[in-house]
Amino acid sequence: MMSKIVIGNQKMYMNKEDVLTFVETLKNTNMDNKQVIVCPTFPFLEYYNGVVPVGAQNVSINDNGAYTGEVSAPQLKSLNIPYCIVGHSERREYNKETDEEINIKVKKLLDQDITPILCIGEKLEERQNKSTETVIKNELNGDLKDLSPEAVKKIIIAYEPIWAIGTGLTPTLEEIDEAMNFIKDYVKTTYNVEKTTILYGGSVSDKNIDELNTVESIDGYLIGGASSKPNAFKYIIDSQN
Ligand code: 13P
C-alpha cells in the first residue's frame, strides 16, 4: 500500500503553547518517506517551517496594497511557504467566498509556484437529493476556470463533504471511493490531466484511519480536528507506510 499524503488543517484551534508542544511531537515522529504538511494559522507558520512542509489556510485575491488583514501569494512566497488551502467550505460559508474568487486565488498561488490545496464538497441536503456530482462539477468548473492542463496538474484537490466536517460522520468507504474516482475521471476528461492528487477530508481521525487507508483511490487526507491533537496526528502519520 502506497503511503498517502497527510495534511493537517489546524484551522483556528491552537495557541502558542499548544503549537510548541505539537512541534516537539512532530520532531519525534519518523517522517522519512512520508508526505506530511501542516497548515496552521498565519502567525504560527514560522514555528513549523523547517520542521515539516507548511501551508497557509487562505490567500488574498490581491498581490499587494491597502488590504488590511489580508496576506498575499507573493508574501507567502517570500516566506517560502510551499502550499496553501483555498476554497475551504468554512470560508465559502462564513466569508461568502465565491468560485470566482477561489479561481483568482488558485491562479495567484500558481503564479508564485505555491501548490493550491483546493477544497470541494457537497452539503448534506445535496447528498440526500443525489446532486453530489453536480455540486462537485460546478465547483471544479468555477474554481479551475481558464487553467491549462499543466496548471491543473499541479493542484491538490480535497474532497470534503461538508456534512462530514467536524461531525464524526463520514461517508462509507464505497461512497468515498466513488467520489474519488468521479473527481479523477472528471478532471481527466475535462482538463486533459492524466493523474490528479485527490484527498479525502471530513472527520478523519486516529479511530478510522486504518480503514480509510485501505481505500486505494484516496491519495491522502485533509485533517481538521485530529490535526490539532498531537497524539492523534502522530498515529495517522505512523499509519502510513
Ligand atoms: P475535521 O477533520 O475536523 O472534520 O475537519 C476536516 C476539514 O475541514 C479539513 O479541512
Asked if residue 97 lies in contact with residue 87, where contact means CB atoms within 8 angstroms, the answer is yes
CA-proximal residue: ligand 1, atom 2 (nearest) = 224
Ligand 1 within 6 A of 224 CB? yes
Atom index in ligand 1 nearest the CA of residue 227 equals: 2
pLDDT tens for each residue of 42-73: 999 999 989 999 999 999 999 999 999 999 99
Ligand 1 within 6 A of 225 CB? yes
Determine the pLDDT at residue 241: 82
Asked if residue 23 lies in contact with residue 51, where contact means CB atoms within 8 angstroms, the answer is yes
140 C-alpha to ligand 1 centroid (Å): 20
- Please, what's the b/e burial string for 130-146 (b: 16 or more CB within 10 A of its CB; e: otherwise)? eebeebbbebbebbbee
237 C-alpha to ligand 1 centroid (Å): 16
Ligand 1 within 6 A of 86 CB? no
Give the full edge-to-edge strand order of the sheet including 156-159: 36-39, 5-9, 220-223, 197-201, 156-159, 115-120, 83-86, 55-56
Ligand 1 within 6 A of 55 CB? no
Ligand 1 within 6 A of 165 CB? yes
Q: How many angstroms separate the CA atoms of 5 and 11, rounded?
A: 18
pTM metric for this prediction = 0.98
Q: Which three cell numbers, joined as nine digits, stand for 134?
A: 453536480
Ligand 1 within 6 A of 19 CB? no
CA-proximal residue: ligand 1, atom 5 (nearest) = 224
Sheet strands (E) in 19-167:
36-39, 55-56, 83-86, 115-120, 156-159
**Residues of the chain where predicted confidence (pLDDT) is lower than 50:** none
Going from the C-alpha of 199 to that of each of 59, 163, 218, the distances in angstroms are 20, 16, 6
167 C-alpha to ligand 1 centroid (Å): 9
Q: Which residues are catalytic?
A: 88, 160
